[in-house]
Amino acid sequence: MTKGKENIRNLTLIELTSVMEKLGEKSFRSKQVYEWLWQKDASTFEDMTNLGLALREKLENTFFIDKIKLDDQQISSDKTIKCAFSVDQGKVVEGVLIPTTSRTTACISSQVGCSLACTFCATGKLKLMRNLTAGEIVDQVVYLRDQAESRYNAPLTNIVYMGMGEPLLNYKNVVRSCEILTSKEGLGMSPRRITVSTAGIAKMIKQLGDDQVKFNLALSLHAANDKKRSQIMEINDSNDLETLSEALVYFHEKTGTRVTFEYIIFKDFNDKLEDAQELAEFAKCVPCKINIIEYNPIDAGGFQQASIERVNAFEKFLLDRNLIVHVRRSRGKDIDAACGQLANKNKAITSEDRKMKTL
């Protein structure tokens, strides 16, 4: 029963300490509880064995622990792992572990579904069901970290908020999850190893600047031309390129952090040299790097991957103008785990529907 109880994993350490003192407990107990929640991955208060029975009963009567559960897992031929995690009422979100020779990255979701309806993204075909809590976001990282260590004997080096949902429309929980991931009482990750990707919510980009966040920011750009960008991303109608440019300048002035521009390159849509010229002009607004990303097909997507020749020419054009450019080759395509494919084969994304499809 969780009625009337508070989700303990939504509390910061300072907030938990305040509640514990009101319960008549010493402040150091809050640190013990916090370590159980985040470093030892406790699922119940009974797991917290160095706490007295009376304290565990107080915790049980006051709080609940929200834990996501693994619903399904697939492993790609390139060792990418896609996990479907169940949240309340059978809803499912997906997270992906991407191992390469130089890094091991957890790509995690921030919402169940998405409200932005970008035309090239499978998640955009779904409705938004709800935001994930900070704990549910961190759970994905913990599970994927454990998979990296147990299957590949590799540490988790990077975290990207590039899964299902728009992170800046779940601002509070995303920022709080980053605090947990980077705090010494939490997972102890470096904020420079975390990247939050947005489709472009100018108001919230400025809020990141005001909050002086330490993690990295990536903008899903995909076209540096308002007409083209609005064709594939409805959000551009209310957050056009000029507005985004102003917000990015503000963010950089407040944080000093270089911005990443993500550019999925589509055949005969945004792959010409004039598109590269528009991108180069837009990129002048802030210190940046540019990731050119292969397009990954989705059901009824209507786009195709640009040719290798076009991609190479596009990259060279930008490099010749002294921009930092990387071409990102997709991984996990055979299990629909690549960029833009999450939930591609799971439109309803419920546990029951998933089971029905396997019968």
Tens of pLDDT, residues 33-42: 999 999 998 9
Check residue 43 and report its DSSP letter: S
- pLDDT at res. 334: 53
Catalytic residue among 114, 121, 285, 339: 339
- Banded pLDDT at 53 (limits 50, 70, 90): very high
Mean pLDDT confidence for 2-12:
87
pLDDT of 323 above 90: yes
- pLDDT at res. 1: 57
Query: What is the Cα 241 distance to its own chain's centre?
Result: 23
- pLDDT at res. 265: 94
Q: What is the mean pLDDT of the chain?
A: 89
- pLDDT at res. 358: 26
The phi, psi pair for 262, rounded to 5°, reads: -100, 130
- Across 24-38, 188-202, 245-259, least confident range: 24-38
The phi, psi pair for 118, rounded to 5°, reads: -60, 135
- As a whole number of angstroms, the distance between CA 49 and CA 40 comes to 11
- Across 61-65, 111-115, 216-220, 320-324, least confident range: 111-115
Report the phi/psi class of residue 212: left, alpha or beta, with left for phi > 0 and alpha for psi in -120 to 50: left
Instruction: Give the helix/strand (H/E) hosting 294.
Output: strand 288-294
- Which pTM was predicted? 0.88
pLDDT of 79 above 80: yes
Any idea which architecture 6-64 has in CATH?
A: Orthogonal Bundle (1.10)
- pLDDT at res. 354: 36
Q: What is the CATH number of domain 69-357?
A: 3.20.20.70
Catalytic residue among 25, 83, 94, 262: 94
- The DSSP bridge partners found for residue 217 are 196
- pLDDT at res. 344: 45
Higher pLDDT, 208 or 186: 208
> In angstroms, what CA-CA distances link 267 with 79, 258, 290, 313?
28, 29, 18, 13
pLDDT of 338 above 50: no
pLDDT of 296 above 60: yes
How much of the chain, in percent, has pLDDT values that exceed 70? Answer: 90
Residue type at 325 in one-letter notation: V
> In angstroms, what CA-CA distances link 183 with 188, 211, 344?
5, 16, 34
Most confident of 92-101, 113-122, 182-191, 210-219: 210-219
Domain boundaries, the chain: 6-64, 69-357
The phi, psi pair for 91, rounded to 5°, reads: -70, 150
Instruction: Give the helix/strand (H/E) hosting 295.
Output: none
- Banded pLDDT at 141 (limits 50, 70, 90): very high
- The DSSP bridge partners found for residue 334 are none
- Please confirm, yes or no, whether 121 is among the known catalytic residues: no
> In angstroms, what CA-CA distances link 216 with 76, 147, 191, 213, 256?
28, 24, 8, 8, 10
Check residue 200 and report its DSSP letter: -
User: Do the domains spanning 6-64 and 69-357 agree at the CATH topology level?
Assistant: no
Rg (CA), the chain: 21
Contact predicate 130/112, CB 8 Å: yes
Mean pLDDT confidence for 109-133:
85
Report the residue count for the chain.
359
- pLDDT at res. 347: 40
- pLDDT at res. 58: 94
- As a whole number of angstroms, the distance between CA 99 and CA 79 comes to 7
Residue 158, CB-side half-sphere exposure with 13 Å CA sphere: 16
Residue type at 110 in one-letter notation: S
208-227 burial: b if 16+ Cβ within 10 Å, else e: bbeeebebbbbbbbbbbbee
- pLDDT at res. 346: 47
Higher pLDDT, 11 or 248: 248
- Specify the residue for token string 């395509």: 333
- Banded pLDDT at 330 (limits 50, 70, 90): low
